[in-house]
Structure 1
Amino acid sequence: MNIVFNKKAGANPLLAVQSLTKGASLLWHEKLRKYVLIPIAVNLILFSSMLYLGYLYVGVLIAKFIPDWLLWLDWLIYPLFFISFFVAGFFTFTLIANLIAAPFYGGLAAKTQHILNDQSGDIQEQPIFKVLGSELKRIAYLVSRAIPIVIISIIPGVNLIAPVLWGLFGAWGMSMEYFAYTLENEGALFPEQRQLLKTVRIGSLSFGGMVLFALMIPVVNIVIPPIAVISATIYRNKLAG
């Protein structure tokens, strides 16, 4: 299937806001409930673990990577390191959570499309091995792009730009993650998904950036992944060429 995104619509960040707002309102829709309960339970366990590990170790890691000659800038470096570690941490834990919940998210995107189109009946879900295989390819792509930023993050002085890099990378990664499910249901594989999102880069980064920010808010981040799947499906409809 030849999928085309409307570039003009994709240049409007407000569409991302509208899609996320509508997605949140549909989270507990009776037809979607069975697709969100297990992912929410997975997110509760993983994000709670992330917060606990962050509480125990982030301060130690920050102190370890600040050399003595930069201590006079600790008022600036501590917040920057804190942001970098938490963006990287929540990004990593989100990928793990999505890998576990991927079989549910494909069905969630398909059922959301039914609701948007006012359709009834059974949905056609992608085979579980195809879904997991696509998720692994996406994770491999994102990890390969994250390695250079990790290296920058531990180089004294240069690492001051790491929070900006992590923010941009995280926004792009979250957009790729959550658009994937609805696009896979249309037959678009990973390479095509990536090219489609590049054609609406402003919209992709706006959507992914808001999702990434919400993922760093305790309690809220437990329900954000399924909301993001629903919202990406809504947004994809708004971007129809």
Structure 2
Amino acid sequence: MHPIGHFYKVTEPQRCTRIDTQPWRAQQTVLNADIHQPFHGYHKAGKVTPFKHSEAAMPAPALTGPQYLREGLKLVLSPGLRLFVLLPLSINIVLFCGLIYLALHQFELWVDTFMPTLPHWLSFLSYILWPLFVALVLLMVFFTFTVVANIIAAPFNGFLSEKVEAVIRGVDESPDFSWAELVAMVPRTLAREARKLGYMLPRMLGLFILSFIPVANIIAAPLWLLFGVWMMAIQYIDYPADNHKLGWNEMLGWLKSKRWQSLSFGGIVYVALLIPVVNLLMMPAAVAAATLFWVRERGADALPIAHARD
């Protein structure tokens, strides 16, 4: 009997073991270290029976993105990985608090110096300047917080991806944090980020020019959207790829070979990062999701990081 998504195997009279072949239904299956390992069924007595079957049913490409992001969010919220999320976020918050305090202090000094130079009848301006200043600060924080968070988190993301993969593969459920290991990854991570900019900026310039060409500019908007989605896939899947020392061109070639899965993943990340405040949590979740994408979609070719570095 073959109901949709399941196989049934009779192991003894009147005893039946059901094996769920839709791996996204169980987090345990999603976090399996190797998707080519056989799934297991459980008898009533609790014994595990391996069951080899044909390739497990995978989600349709258009659905894989949301599923990966959901599982990535679960991963970064797990106790063993929270530190790797909270640390860059805390650095960003402390930095902004310090900048806001400095801006308030300097503005107060400027107001105290400027207001005595005005006629007395203009003293009411102090009640207008402060609200305007606060509104300006809030506006700047809103538009720059995420950008600065991305810059600060860049060295952490490769590190986070490595630790997430250790959890996914069952090597270590609670990886230790090491400043020395993090610092050692910074030069390579920043060099890879520069490579991404070198790929992105010329194409953005081409789209920008296309936007001003009559008739041709009709397709500029959808191309901008498609390029943004594609860059989200590149941005985050590059972290596990770089950890495995996969070259830039090889990484692009692999993503192109899984074009629809990559666009599905990039699309949901693109949408999630547009939501203010929520996007702060979505950034590390996207790193974890991309690592899960790498392990699951790369399959047997995705060697453990320790081997990839040898």
TM-score (norm 1): 0.69
Structure 1 counterpart of 2:80, from 23, 27, 31:
31
Structure 2 counterpart of 1:209, from 256, 267, 270:
267
Distance 1:194 1:9 in 2: 22
AA matched with 2:157: Y
1:102 paired residue number: 154
2:254 paired residue number: 196
Percent of aligned pairs with the same residue?
36
1:75 paired residue number: none
Structure 2 counterpart of 1:185, from 226, 231, 243:
243
1:58 paired residue number: none
Structure having the higher helix fraction is 1
Distance 2:213 2:81 in 1: 46
Matched, 1:144 2:193: no
**1:129 positional shift:** 0.5
Distance 1:171 1:109 in 2: 20
AA matched with 1:222: L
1:19 paired residue number: 68
Distance 1:108 1:31 in 2: 11
Q: Is the 8 A contact 2:89 2:149 kept in 1?
A: no
Deviates more, 1:135-144 or 1:117-126: 117-126
Secondary structure of 2:289's partner?
helix
**1:27 positional shift:** 2.1
Show the 5 A alignment for 1:1-241: 12-40=61-89, 52=139, 97-120=149-172, 127-155=185-213, 158-241=216-299
Distance 2:90 2:231 in 1: 23
AA matched with 1:211: V
Higher relative contact order (CA 8 A, sep 6+): 1
Pair 1:160–1:106, CA change in 2 (3 A): same
Distance 1:171 1:158 in 2: 21
- RMSD over aligned CA atoms reads 3.2
TM-score (norm 2): 0.55
**1:159 positional shift:** 3.3
**1:11 positional shift:** 6.7
2:302 paired residue number: none
Q: Is the 8 A contact 1:167 1:209 kept in 2?
A: no
**1:185 positional shift:** 1.1
Q: Is the 8 A contact 1:215 1:224 kept in 2?
A: yes
**1:14 positional shift:** 2.1
**1:161 positional shift:** 2.7
Distance 1:97 1:143 in 2: 20
Q: Deviations over 1:41-92 (max 9, x none)?
A: 57776xxx9x936x9xxxxxxxxxxxxxxxxxxxxxxxxxxxxxxxxx99xx
Q: Is the 8 A contact 1:11 1:202 kept in 2?
A: no
Pair 1:154–1:100, CA change in 2 (3 A): farther
Q: Which runs of 5+ in 2 are unaligned?
A: 1-54, 97-135, 300-310
Q: Which runs of 5+ in 1 are unaligned?
A: 1-5, 56-88
Distance 1:231 1:194 in 2: 18
Q: Is the 8 A contact 1:12 1:202 kept in 2?
A: yes
Q: Which has the larger radius of gyration?
A: 2
Q: Is the 8 A contact 1:11 1:200 kept in 2?
A: no
Q: Deviations over 1:89-133 (max 9, x none)?
A: 99xx75x64343121111111111111112126586662101110
2:22 paired residue number: none
AA matched with 2:61: N
AA matched with 1:40: L
